[in-house]
């Protein structure tokens, strides 16, 4: 039916969620010659959050699919490469050494007989070697300050999977420039009133005109301006399991002589953890903490003391975070993408991934103006799965800690009580390896069994495996892992060399 065709979509909000969604939908509709207008309304007065600066590796596929040139994107956003996250202090120190482990993006798929993880657990674990160091290439690369690129790597390819550290404000600006050039209508205006009929938005009234549309996408950040206008009782809090609900973000100049690292650092403090993200021109840092246990002033002081008194601070920002998700991501003709839909603390840098997922699912679900309830429910269900999976994965980082030095860490050990499915799995993973089939529900998650094993074994949550081993076979296997690592170091560039190509 011709009159059931969608003619216009209005996105409100010009942060990364707004511009990524606008760009994705516009790209798709133009390519497929669909006559659907994509408009983005953003307030020049309100501004964006502008703190999401690390990504997961799959975001490369979004940028590539949008036809963006990787070099141009990275050079305009002060970006560096990221091959994973170094976690520090998430367990008690051992023999006076700070506990640390690395979570790479790499998927390790080799082994002969037993898989590599099982082989490592059976033969290498007792040597005191870190799991990631024994099994993956990325850990070897960062030891040599190498990034993911070889001298001949083309855009979006590297020797190991990688994401980015990227200036969030400049990313939004870059995406805006590209989206507008590709035909997205951009309106600078502040929404003052939302006119609704039952659960449908008829129009939005702004200081720069009134806009009607078939669909409205809420990308207004934590305030969820549109979705809250068409729904009530539409929030599930995750704060019982994940109590870090505040952050203080501090930008600082580079300590002298320090070069940008090709990984994010996540160091646990007294009541949460600190991120350190190296851009070309500065370091972005922030303390994500439990606001019920620490005041803003205490958190800022603890962060600055951690960073060192010699640091030159550029900017400090205190942020209230709402930790949880919508019960319904789609209500009437309004759909949420980005922070307005939900947020889980940024320990695994998943904000942009969830936006990417939201935009992709939108394109398959937005088939006509008047969709049946089942379609709305399908969209919500898929997004809920993604948030639930992510919640489980983030809780895993906390609940297997042995830290008990503050009440925060004692409570962290009990956080699994709010994740019954994880509790059941942890009981099993004491006796068997964590494998793909254990996580079958993770259809929209970006974390699979490989990722779980890096956290479990990085945190020394090992299964008891009483199996015989063939020593010679194990030696051959781990010699081949070592050889691959050495080869990767030989072929890859130092991170600094790759950055010089981008930024000089
Ligand atoms: P915002 O950036 O808040 O944008 C909201 C937009 O809505 C703005 O353009 C504003 O002008 C507009 N708006 C609001 N009200 C009105 C109105 N009345 N009229 C018109 N326009 C309006 N994600 C990652 O991927 N990696 C990370 O490392 C990471 N770290 C994070 C750290 C912290 C502490 C936090 C809180 C988040 C982090 N995130 C991270 C998440 C990431 O910041 C967000 O996913 C991302 O910024 C998208 O935000 P947004 O576009 O939904 O909202």
DSSP string, 184-229: -EEEE--EEEEEEETTEEEEEEEBTEEEE-SEEEE--GGG-HHHHH
Pocket test for ligand 1, best of 10, 11, 16 (most atoms within 8 A of CB): 16
Residue 308 shares a structural domain with residue 433: no
What pLDDT shows up at residue 409? Answer: 98
500, part of any domain = no
Task: Say if residue 315 is in the same domain as residue 327.
Answer: no
**Is residue 292 in a domain?**
yes
271 inside domain:
yes
Cα 343 to Cα 324: distance, rounded to the nearest angstrom? 6
Q: Which CATH number does the domain housing residue 305 bear?
A: 3.30.70
Last residue in a domain, options 389, 417, 432: 389
Are 115 and 252 in the same domain?
no
Q: What HEC string does 147-169 produce?
A: EEEECCCCCCCCCCCCEEECCHH
pTM above 0.85, yes or no: yes
Q: Which residue has the tokens 């050990």?
A: 413
Indicate whether 423 and 487 sit together in one domain: yes
Q: Are residues 6 and 48 in the same domain?
A: yes
Q: What is the pLDDT of residue 276?
A: 96
**Ligand 1 center–CA 222 separation, angstroms:** 7
Pairing between β-strand 209-212 and β-strand 264-268 as defined by DSSP bridges: unpaired
> Is residue 176 located within the same domain as residue 232?
yes
How many domains would you assign to the chain? 3
Residue 499 falls inside a structural domain: no
Instruction: Provide the pLDDT for residue 30.
Output: 86
502 lies in some domain: no
Cα separation of 396 and 438, whole Å?
A: 15
Query: Which residues does a 6 A CB cutoff place in the pocket of ligand 1?
Result: 12-18, 41-43, 46-49, 51-55, 168, 190-191, 219-221, 223, 225, 247, 249, 286, 319, 321, 338-340, 346, 349-352
- For 36-52, give one letter per residue: b (16+ CB within 10 A) or e: bbbbbbbbeeeebbbbb
Residue 504 belongs to a domain: no
Mutation probe of ligand 1 site: the residue of 77, 223, 266, 346 with most atoms within 8 A of C-beta:
346
Q: Are residues 36 and 99 in the same domain?
A: no
56 and 203 co-located in one domain: yes
Q: Which CATH number fits the domain that encloses residue 39?
A: 3.50.50.60
What pairs with residue 40 in β-bridges?
11, 186
- Considering 292, 320, 348, which residue would you say is the last residue of a domain? 320
- pLDDT at res. 95: 85
Nearest to 179 by CA among 225, 227, 219, 229: 219
Let me know whether 73 and 183 are in one domain. yes
Residue nearest atom 14 in ligand 1 by C-alpha distance: 220
Supply 321's token pair. Answer: 């975070």
Q: Are 38 and 9 found together in one domain? A: yes
423 catalytic per annotation:
no
Q: 31 in a domain, yes or no?
A: yes
Does 230 share its domain with 368? yes
Pocket test for ligand 1, best of 278, 339, 354, 359 (most atoms within 8 A of CB): 339
Let me know if residue 394 belongs to a domain: no
**Domain of 315, in residue numbers:** 246-320
Residue 271: enclosing H or E segment and its boundaries?
A: none
Ligand 1 atom closest to the CA of 286, numbered from 1: 34
Kindly give the confidence (pLDDT) of every residue in the chain, 504 residues in length, as a single tens digit, with 9 standing for 90 and above.
557 888 999 999 999 999 999 999 999 988 878 889 999 999 999 988 888 789 999 999 999 999 999 999 999 999 999 999 999 999 999 888 999 999 999 987 666 677 899 999 998 887 889 999 999 999 999 999 999 999 999 999 999 999 999 999 999 999 999 999 999 999 999 999 999 998 999 999 999 999 999 999 999 999 999 999 999 999 999 999 999 999 999 999 987 778 999 999 999 999 999 999 999 989 999 999 999 999 999 999 999 999 997 888 898 999 999 999 999 999 999 999 999 999 999 999 999 999 999 999 999 999 888 888 999 999 999 999 999 999 999 999 999 999 999 999 999 999 999 999 999 999 999 999 999 889 876 566 789 999 999 999 999 999 999 998 888 988 999 999 999 999 999 999 999 999 999 877
- Domain boundary (320, 345, 377) is at 320
pLDDT for position 400: 98
Same domain? For 71 and 86 the reply is no
């Amino acid at each position: 039916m011709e009159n059931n065709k969608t003619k216009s979509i209005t996105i409100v909000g010009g942060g990364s969620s707004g511009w990524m969604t606008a760009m994705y939908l516009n790209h798709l509709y133009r390519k497929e010659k669909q006559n659907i207008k994509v408009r983005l309304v953003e307030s020049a007065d309100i501004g964006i959050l502008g703190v999401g600066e690390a990504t997961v590796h799959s975001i490369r596929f979004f940028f590539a699919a949008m036809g963006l040139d990787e070099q141009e994107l990275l050079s305009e956003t002060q970006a560096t490469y990221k091959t994973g996250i170094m976690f520090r202090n998430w367990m008690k120190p051992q023999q006076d050494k700070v506990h640390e482990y690395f979570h790479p993006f790499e998927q390790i798929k080799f082994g002969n007989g037993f898989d590599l993880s099982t082989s490592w657990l059976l033969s290498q674990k007792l040597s005191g070697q870190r799991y990631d160091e024994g099994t993956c290439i990325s850990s070897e690369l960062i030891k040599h300050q190498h990034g993911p690129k070889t001298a001949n790597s083309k855009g979006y390819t590297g020797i190991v999977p990688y994401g980015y550290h990227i200036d969030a404000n400049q990313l939004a600006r870059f995406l805006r420039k590209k989206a507008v050039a590709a035909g997205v209508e951009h309106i600078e205006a502040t929404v003052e009133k939302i006119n609704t009929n039952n659960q449908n938005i008829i129009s939005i009234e702004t200081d720069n005109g009134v806009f009607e549309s078939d669909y409205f996408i809420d990308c207004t950040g934590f305030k969820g301006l549109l979705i809250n206008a068409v729904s009530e009782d539409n929030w599930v809090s995750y704060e019982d399991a994940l109590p870090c609900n505040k952050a203080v973000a501090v930008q600082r100049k580079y300590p002298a002589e320090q070069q940008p690292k090709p990984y994010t650092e996540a160091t646990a403090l007294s009541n949460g953890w600190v991120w350190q993200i190296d851009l070309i021109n500065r370091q972005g840092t922030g303390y994500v903490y439990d606001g019920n246990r620490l005041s803003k002033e205490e958190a800022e002081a603890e962060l600055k003391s951690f960073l060192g008194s010699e640091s030159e601070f550029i900017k400090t920002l205190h942020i209230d975070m709402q930790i949880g998700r919508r019960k319904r991501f789609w209500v009437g003709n309004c759909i949420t993408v980005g922070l307005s839909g939900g947020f889980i603390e940024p320990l695994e840098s998943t904000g942009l991934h969830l936006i990417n997922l939201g935009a992709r699912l939108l394109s398959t679900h937005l088939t006509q103006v008047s969709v049946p309830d089942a379609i709305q429910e399908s969209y919500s269900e898929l997004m809920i799965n993604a948030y639930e999976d992510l919640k489980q994965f983030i809780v895993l980082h906390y609940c297997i800690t042995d830290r008990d030095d503050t009440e925060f860490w004692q409570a962290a050990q009990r956080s699994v009580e709010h994740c019954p499915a994880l509790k059941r799995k942890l009981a099993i993973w004491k006796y068997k390896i964590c494998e793909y089939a254990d996580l079958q529900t993770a259809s929209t998650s970006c974390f699979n069994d490989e990722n779980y094993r890096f956290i479990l074994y990085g945190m020394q949550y090992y299964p008891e495996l009483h199996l015989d081993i063939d020593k010679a076979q194990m030696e051959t296997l781990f010699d081949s892992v070592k050889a691959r690592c050495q080869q990767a170091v030989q072929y890859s560039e130092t991170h600094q060399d790759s950055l010089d190509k981008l930024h000089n």
